[in-house]
Amino acid sequence: MMLLNRMSESPAMRKLLRNRGAMVAMSIITLYMILFVWIASMQFVAWVGATTNTFDLTERPVMGALLPSRTLERVGASNQLGFGLHAEPSKRIDQVKFYFGQVDGVFTEIEQANGENGEARTVEEILDSTSLAELRLADRPIDELQDIYDRGMAVFAEQDTLRRLRPKIVKIDIALEKLAAFRAQIDSATIRDDEAFENLCEDTGYILEDIITHLSDYAKIAPTDTDPLAAIDADILTEAMDALLDYEPMDPVYDQGVIDQIQAATDTAGDGIDAAVNAKLVDIEPILAELYPIPNGLNGMIYKFRLMLGTDQQGRSIMLRALYSAKIAIQVGLIVSFCAVLFGSIVGAAAGYFGGIIDHLVIWLYSTFSSIPYLVLLVVLSFMFTGSALEKTLIPLYVAFSLTFWIGPCRVTRGEALKLKSLDYVQAAQALGASKARILLKHIIPNTSHLMFINSSLLFIGAIKGEVVLTFLGLGLKEGVSWGTMISQSKPEVVSGFFWQIGAATFFMFVLVLAFNILTDALQDAFDPKHVG
């Protein structure tokens, strides 16, 4: 308490409070700390409720919103965009199909349950199992849900019919290429009464027949009568086909204008098919809204908050995962920085003040540790816990970081202690008969407190970045979610052009690390005697 009072009245603290950048950074850090305290408190409350079997916090929409189980809960289709944005039509169609697949599973299980004599889930339990957090199936009779589902599947069937036009366009393109080659051979043929010429006429005639057939099939399922390919009258090619099959080709062999028209139509028909398929979204999405109406009130606000940054590959909320990962990062940073700074500062102060064999032993110890590459040592220490009961906890990270991060505070504090022990007030304390332990605890260590603050901030940042790196490599957090987990799981998403998960993890980590960097510089300017003035 005395130390806090001295700090609050010191010129260094007043200098820190006048630093606007530091105040903004402290405000951001405070928000992260509030988030950390909230999540940790709710986890404790949930543990108490589960242990005493008195209440289930997961049923509370607000208090249970950031529990670990919520970060693993599916809330929607895969890779939904955040901020209410819409993906490209093809991806939206796949996302809508996911919801209809959920409903299809309901009807399938109900049908199977009706035909079984053994134990089966009730209809209510089956319907509840399809809930996606607060998003639930409409509260309607099964028959009405079945009718809505059938209407939606009818639209999907229309889409599938339109998609069948794609292969026909490809086949027409291939046939047109062959037709051009055969016509060139016919035009260049000098002998027109041998077997080879007759075979050539037959092949060309069959190619024309294929084109006519494909055009006819295309016109039957074309999206509109104005489709450029469906509007072509191919009957004029029939006469050319008959002449070829009679081995008496016309001159010219066929109407090139019609062929050119077909070729031009195939180049533009694909876009029309895509537009017609995508237009079905206008019909299917209102039907989906009837099956899965967006919740209202508090549940609706919470559900929209979950989807604020979209969903990952497994349909989990990126927002909840990013926020909960902040708790993991701060937890690792606080514990590691406290343990490493406390141990390193005490050992460094003792080495600097006592000197002799203690100083030599400490120098040898941190020189040995610092000669090992930083990341390699972290990986080895983390790997030591593989297969143990502690593997799936954060304890391996605490141990690995604490055993490597104490070196910096130890070196700095040792140097400061070497300077402090020669000052007048330390010499006076020795002359008055104060013990070495009292001088160390009363004078040396308190006067290195500014270094502890600075080192704590630096090690906090290093612990967060180290946890992300080790988790990304698969040697950090094994169960649960962290920013490293999110970045690791976003690799296939980035390949497909989905950046929301890696962007969210990077943004939240960037803001926290930047705020601590700014605060560290401000602390050094304010509390380091070399800068105070």
Closest of 172, 452, 508 to residue 309, by C-alpha:
508
pLDDT tens per residue across span 368-406: 888 877 677 777 777 777 777 777 788 888 888 888 888
Q: Do 513 and 465 contact (CB within 8 A), yes or no?
A: yes
Using CB atoms within 10 A of its CB, is residue 417 exposed (0-12), middle (13-18) or buried (19+)?
A: buried
pLDDT tens per residue across span 178-224: 888 888 888 887 777 778 888 888 888 888 888 888 888 888 877 66
pLDDT at residue 495 greater than cutoff 80: yes
pLDDT bucket at 530, cuts 50 / 70 / 90: low
Which CATH code of 1.10.3720.10, 3.40.50.300, 3.40.50.150, 3.30.470.10 fits the domain covering 318-527?
Answer: 1.10.3720.10
Q: Do 250 and 204 contact (CB within 8 A), yes or no?
A: no
Question: What gap in Å lies between CA 312 and CA 303, rounded to an integer?
Answer: 15
Q: Is the dihedral of CA 280, 286, 288, 291 positive or negative?
A: negative
How much is the average pLDDT of 110-139?
76
The rounded percent of the chain whose pLDDT value lies above 70 is 93
Angle at 145 between CA 140 and CA 149, to 5 degrees: 155
Listed by start position, the domains of the chain span 163-281, 318-527
How much is the average pLDDT of 431-435?
72
Tokens of 475: 């040697």
